[in-house]
């Protein structure tokens, strides 16, 4: 019963008329190419916002007198750069991963915050997005391991003894799973809770101060969104750092 | 939204697109700008260091100059003091000499006056003696005899302390 109500509330909040049917792009073999329209559209919005932010911040950059946006993007850049350099000690390897880590951080941050805009949802509230990003991390740390350590990367799965192989494989496979479900759970739960609060409180209560509850939750969601973006970026950096570390 | 479908692939694709876009548009300019700023600050710091070193050198030089000037002044002062002392001694010596000279001349004058007085006294004594002798003897003697007598007398008298 609660599920039905949630769907109803969601339907009432579907201000932009996002289609419910999957976009069907055809079939490859037995795999249907279906897209979640809502997720795809909010992802595009996120991408456009990120692009606008990046262009606005890096246009007319001044070395001596930075404007506000420039200071902001420089702070993010320095912050992520510090994280990467803390985990990956070789400057060349660190710089090669810096762009990816920065994109993780900015993209996930914008995605999480976009869900706080009424009538929109986060791209990261869809498991497809978070799993996609986590698979990127998985591919990346495998790639970095092979590129910088070669055969030792695979030999590592047999250490300390050969029968540790399944454990090591599970360990590596669990990384993207935990990454994606952590992010998805936090953001999706935040949005569901917003819906629940809205569903619990009749509109009349809003005028009597009932708006305070969802506003407090929104403020907390901003915090959660930033923290989750940070955690995802940080853990990705740590995983890659483990794979490129020489003494491991 | 819990079932997986092609959205996953689309999201990976979106992420890669965003990554490439940001790399070109944002990260490269930012990295370049930060590098520029780092270089700028490093240059400034180096220039400041150099200027500080130069200032230090100048300061040392000025201090040395000052020290030298002070020593010179000291030297000049000492020299002047010595010269003044010498001059003072000269003046004192000259004054002493002058005083001695004045004293000498005064003494000479006194001596001369005394001799003159003595001579006058002798002449008067001689005349008086002649007068007295003439009175006593009652006769007039020739001036030659008289002179001879007087002279003898005076000679005797002159050997007396007077």
Nearest to A132 among B15, B27, B29 (CB): B15
Please write the tens of the pLDDT for every residue from B27-58. Answer: 898 989 989 999 999 999 999 999 999 999 99
Nearest to B23 among A43, A99, A125 (CB): A99
Q: Confirm or reject contact between B27 and chain A (CB < 8 A).
A: yes
Closest-CA residue of A relative to B1 is A126
B136, pLDDT greater than 80: no
Instruction: Return the number of CB contacts < 8 Å for A and B.
Output: 114
Please write the tens of the pLDDT for every residue from B71-80. Answer: 999 999 999 9
Terminal-residue alpha carbon distance, chain B: 162
How many CB atoms lie under 10 A from the CB of residue A103? 25
d(CA A211, CA A147): 53
Distance from CA of A126 to the nearest CA of B (A): 6
Q: Confirm or reject contact between B6 and chain A (CB < 8 A).
A: yes
What residue ranges do the domains of chain B occupy? 14-159
- B11 and A123 within 8 Å at the Cβ level: the answer is yes
As for the ipTM of the complex, it is 0.86
Per the CB < 8 A criterion, the answer to whether A41 and B24 are in contact is: no
Chain-centroid distance, C-alpha B29: 72
A19 in helix, strand or coil?
coil
Look at B96 and A32; give whichever has higher pLDDT: B96
Mutation site, A27, A46, A128, interface B, largest B CB count within 10 A? A128
Q: Confirm or reject contact between B7 and chain A (CB < 8 A).
A: yes
Please write the tens of the pLDDT for every residue from A177-212. Answer: 999 999 999 999 988 888 888 777 766 666 777 678
A1, pLDDT greater than 60: no
The alpha carbon dihedral of B116, B119, B124, B125 has a sign of positive
**Looking at chain A from residue 54 to 83, which residues have their Cβ under 8 Å from any Cβ of chain B?**
54-55, 57-58, 61, 63-64, 73-74, 77-78
Mean pLDDT of A149-157: 82
Nearest to B37 among A47, A63, A106 (CB): A63
Token duo for residue A143: 């790639």
Q: What is the largest CA-CA distance in chain A?
A: 67
What is the length of chain B? 162
Q: Which residues of A touch B40 (CB under 8 A)?
A: 63-64
Token duo for residue A122: 């986060």
**What is the pLDDT at residue A201?**
72
Closest-CA residue of B relative to A61 is B33
């Amino acid at each position: 019963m609660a599920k039905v109500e949630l769907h109803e509330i969601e339907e009432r909040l579907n201000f932009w008329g996002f289609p419910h049917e999957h976009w069907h792009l055809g079939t490859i073999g037995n795999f249907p190419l279906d897209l979640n329209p809502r997720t795809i559209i909010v992802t595009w919005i996120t991408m456009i916002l990120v692009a606008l932010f990046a262009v606005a911040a890096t246009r007319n950059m001044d070395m001596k007198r930075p404007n506000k946006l420039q200071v902001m993007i420089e702070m993010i850049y320095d912050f992520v750069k510090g994280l990467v350099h803390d985990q990956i000690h070789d400057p060349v390897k660190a710089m090669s991963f810096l762009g990816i880590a920065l994109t993780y951080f900015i993209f996930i941050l914008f995605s999480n915050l976009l869900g706080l805009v009424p009538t929109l949802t986060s791209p990261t509230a869809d498991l497809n997005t978070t799993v996609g990003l986590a698979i990127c991390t998985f591919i990346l740390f495998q790639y970095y391991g092979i590129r910088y350590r070669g055969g030792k990367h695979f030999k590592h799965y047999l250490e300390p003894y050969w029968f540790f192989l399944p454990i090591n494989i599970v360990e590596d496979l669990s990384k993207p799973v935990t990454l994606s479900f952590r992010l998805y759970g936090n953001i999706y739960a935040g949005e569901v809770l917003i819906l629940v609060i809205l569903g619990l409180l009749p509109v009349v209560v809003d005028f009597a101060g009932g708006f305070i509850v969802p506003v407090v939750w929104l403020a907390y969601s901003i915090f959660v969104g930033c923290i989750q973006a940070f955690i995802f970026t940080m853990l990705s950096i740590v995983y890659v750092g483990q794979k490129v570390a020489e003494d491991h | 939204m819990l079932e997986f479908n092609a959205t996953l692939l689309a999201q990976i694709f979106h992420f890669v697109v965003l990554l490439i876009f940001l790399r070109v548009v944002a990260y490269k300019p930012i990295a370049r700008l930060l590098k520029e700023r780092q270089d700028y600050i490093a240059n400034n710091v180096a220039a400041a260091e150099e200027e500080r070193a130069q200032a230090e050198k100048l300061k040392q030089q000025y201090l040395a100059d000052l020290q030298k000037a002070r020593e010179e002044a000291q030297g000049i002062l000492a020299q002047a003091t010595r010269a003044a002392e010498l001059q003072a001694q000269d003046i004192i010596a000259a004054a002493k000499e002058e005083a001695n000279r004045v004293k000498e001349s005064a003494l000479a004058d006194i001596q001369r006056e005394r001799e003159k007085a003595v001579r006058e006294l002798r002449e008067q004594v001689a005349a008086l003696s002649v007068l007295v002798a003439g009175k006593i003897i009652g006769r007039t003697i020739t001036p030659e005899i008289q002179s001879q007598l007087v002279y003898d007398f005076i000679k005797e008298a002159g050997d007396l302390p007077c």
